[in-house]
Amino acid sequence: MIDEEIFRLMEEEREHQNKTLSLIASENYTSESVMHALGSVLTNKYAEGVPELRYYKGCKVIDKIENLALERLTRLFDAEAGNVQPHSGTQANMAIYFAVLNPKDYVLSLSTVNGGHLSHGSLINFSGELYNFVHYGVDENGFIDYENVEYLAKKYRPKLIVCGASSYSRIIDFERFKKIAESVDALLMVDMAHIAGLVAAELHPSPVPFADFVTSTTQKTLRGPRGGFILCQKKYERIINKAVFPGIQGGPLMNVIAAKAVCFAEAMTSEFKSYISQVLKNAKEMAEKFSELKFDVVTGGTENHSFVLDLTKFELDGEQFSRMLEEVGINVSKQTVPNDKLGWKQASGVRIGTPAITTRGFDTDACDKLVDLINLVVRDFDGSKEYVKSEVAKLASQFPIYNYNNKHVDD
């Protein structure tokens, strides 16, 4: 039976994605090979446990798939060990906390308002409820305040320090974080979800040599399926595996694990490195062009795939502006700016990211054009709306979603 209602909605969403542009820094478009693995018979199989140590029988092929995913993951990031089972980045973070913390233990992390993730101790998340998170912040220019990290580490002597962010456009000094962690006998966890693709392409410093644990998603700059993974030193492998299953999850999603394996292989190619290099060029170009047009770019620019526009001077908040952009076919996420007074529901800014448009083939000229259109929206929404809408539609059809090379990994 074909579920016509759902099929129709899937087609509607396909058309929506094709006709609009996503500047959401955490979004991307996977390859057809990744989607092929996702929609496969692998979804039929239960495989609780780890390869060669399963609770259900019939896992011989499944074991080969998970071992291949693991081997590719650890090779891609040059890590000693890993786990490919976390259903998401939050599950990966939860597994680390479950493995090394007791309820009420102190943990140090970047606050959500300054770019940290919900699972880094937000009070509306399990992490903030179970553990005593203390937050370091950013300075008045939006840069991580390492002296504040050091001060808080000495004051609270946390068991774990978390770095990595959902919204931070500068390179994080992992070595400095490691030194701070060592000075107070804390463990260091790096959540590299946003920058994983940049690290894989060796166009961003890797946290692996410095962190006890690295967590990530696979769907962002890495351009894989929605899912998570963990990297760690060999000595932590057993406690991490136990924390993931049976600690916080049941059966792994084997179709997703196969899709992760495809994504890891794709990320090893020279095409992927060129793609990430263009993601970085496009982000830099857009941040510079916004600055020329007198927008306030938090930290004054970017060293990765994303940046934040502070809209305060336009008397607009992030919620209002992202709604205006949605009306003309551009999707962004609202974002709090450093030490924001407005809170997350309104937020004083929007986050801009280039991974998705770069997958569609955007070069710096197309990015300039897009910035000009966004500039029109901010300065004269009513007067420019229809024009911008039609120009966005033109850009979207000029750069269709599946125009990039969907080769099978072993072609």
What φ, ψ does residue 189 adopt, rounded to 5°? -115, 130
- Catalytic: which of 112, 217, 336, 358? 217
- Using the minimum distance from each CB to ligand DSN, give the nearer residue, 178 or 351: 351
Neighbours of 88 (CB within 10 A): 17
- Catalytic: which of 27, 48, 296, 363? 48
- Catalytic: which of 20, 46, 156, 385? 46
**From 125, 166, 169, 336, residue interacting with ligand DSN (rule: CB under 6 A):** 166
Q: Is 127 helix (H, G, I), strand (E, B) or coil?
A: helix
* 220 part of the active site: yes
361's tokens: 């083939």
For residue 315, the one-letter residue type is E
- Using the minimum distance from each CB to ligand DSN, give the nearer residue, 117 or 178: 117
**From 86, 89, 158, 225, residue interacting with ligand DSN (rule: CB under 6 A):** 89
CA–CA separation, 346 and 357 (whole Å) = 25
Q: Check: CB of residue 134 under 8 Å from CB of residue 318.
A: no
Considering the complex, what minimum distance in angstroms separates the CB of residue 166 from ligand DSN? 4
* 271 part of the active site: no
CA–CA separation, 297 and 300 (whole Å) = 5
**From 45, 87, 117, 178, residue interacting with ligand DSN (rule: CB under 6 A):** 117
Residue nearest to ligand DSN (CB): 26
Q: Is residue 169 a contact residue for ligand DSN (CB under 6 A)?
A: no
Sign (positive/negative) of CA torsion 401, 403, 407, 409? negative
Considering the complex, what minimum distance in angstroms separates the CB of residue 85 from ligand DSN? 18
Considering the complex, what minimum distance in angstroms separates the CB of residue 220 from ligand DSN? 7
Q: How far is CA 256 from the centre of its chain?
A: 17
Site for ligand DSN in 344-403 (CB under 6 A): none
The site for ligand DSN, by CB under 6 A, has a size of 6
Considering the complex, what minimum distance in angstroms separates the CB of residue 352 from ligand DSN? 12
Which of the 8 DSSP states describes residue 344? Answer: T
CA–CA separation, 383 and 353 (whole Å) = 26
Name the burial class of residue 381, with classes exposed (0-12), middle (13-18) and buried (19+) by CB atoms within 10 angstroms of its CB.
middle
Q: Is 329 helix (H, G, I), strand (E, B) or coil?
A: coil
* 273 part of the active site: no
How would DSSP label each residue in 142-173? S-B-HHHHHHHHHHH--SEEEE--SS--S---
- Using the minimum distance from each CB to ligand DSN, give the nearer residue, 50 or 279: 279
CA–CA separation, 33 and 29 (whole Å) = 12
CA–CA separation, 217 and 146 (whole Å) = 26
* 14 part of the active site: no
- Catalytic: which of 66, 191, 266, 303? 191
Q: Tokens 């197309």 label which residue?
A: 366
* 368 part of the active site: no
- Catalytic: which of 19, 179, 226, 281? 226
Q: Compose the 20-39 pattern: x for residues touching ligand DSN by CB under 6 A, - for all others.
A: ------x-------------
* 19 part of the active site: no
CA–CA separation, 371 and 325 (whole Å) = 12
- Using the minimum distance from each CB to ligand DSN, give the nearer residue, 119 or 375: 119
Considering the complex, what minimum distance in angstroms separates the CB of residue 24 from ligand DSN? 7
- Using the minimum distance from each CB to ligand DSN, give the nearer residue, 33 or 218: 218
**Residues with active-site annotation:** 46, 48, 191, 217, 220, 226
Residue numbers of the site for ligand DSN (CB under 6 A)? 26, 89, 117, 166, 193, 333
